[in-house]
Amino acid sequence: IAAIRDTAVGRSHKAGRGIALIGLALSVGFGVQSFTVFSVNAWIDHSRARETVVQWHQAIRAGEWDVVHGFCAPGLLPSEEVEFDDPDHDGHQHDSVESRKLSEIKALQELPAVRSLAACNKITISDIVRGDQQFQGSLHVTVDVNECKQNPEDALPLTVDLWLNQKTQEEPEVGKDAAGFQNVEIWQIIRVDPSE
């Protein structure tokens, strides 16, 4: 306001005040635009992370373990080969990928955080923040499950912490006139706490 008044009062012998004022206005405008873009992107990321957690919880509750496993990033779970000691097992060869997947699903089902989510009909997402230095670029989602009815003998956690990361991959286009590939954003769970 002082700059506008200064340029409007009397004859100014200082050249460039108007240009400086325009530059100031542009820099403020670009700053606001940058902040707006950052805020909208953060809001979109938080919404997508929230929806991913809700969908993952629904798959856990429905017992759709292939879907639950699909939400997990590779390396989230320890991969140990499944041993087939079942007397009904006919001894045929299993693909190592399928064996690893079965092992990971079993490990996933035994995680205290997953057992806690499975016991709860409704979850509350209490916080979503950017990951720390160890999980840079990820979102840390805190889920409250303290309103769920739990067996007193089961010491399941009342708070579950999930870290999610997004990746982009090419998928075939779908539809009548589909002719190529499109980039698709996929959100994956990269860490679950408590895990022991």
pTM of the model: 0.71
For 84, residues 6+ apart whose C-beta sits below 8 A from its C-beta are 91, 94
Give pLDDT, residue 178.
79
Give pLDDT, residue 57.
94
What six digits make up the tokens of 191? 């860490």
For 112, the 3-state DSSP assignment is: helix
| CB 20, CB 3: distance < 8 Å | yes
Give pLDDT, residue 188.
92
Check residues 142 and 179 and name the one with the higher pLDDT: 142
Give pLDDT, residue 81.
41
**How many helices and strands (H and E) does the chain possess?**
5, 4
Show the domain range for 52: 2-193
Give pLDDT, residue 82.
41
- Domains in the chain: how many in total? 1
Give pLDDT, residue 15.
58
Give residue 83's pLDDT band: very low, low, confident or very high (50, 70, 90).
very low
Helix (H) or strand (E) holding 28: helix 17-62
Check residues 125 and 79 and name the one with the higher pLDDT: 125
Check residues 28 and 95 and name the one with the higher pLDDT: 28
- Position 60 pLDDT exceeds 50: yes
112-150 residue pLDDT tens = 899 999 988 888 898 899 877 777 788 999 999 877 766
CA distance 78 to 70: 15
Give pLDDT, residue 6.
57
CA distance 120 to 128: 20
Q: What percent of the chain has pLDDT over 70?
A: 78
Give residue 79's pLDDT band: very low, low, confident or very high (50, 70, 90).
low
Averaged pLDDT for residues 42-69: 93
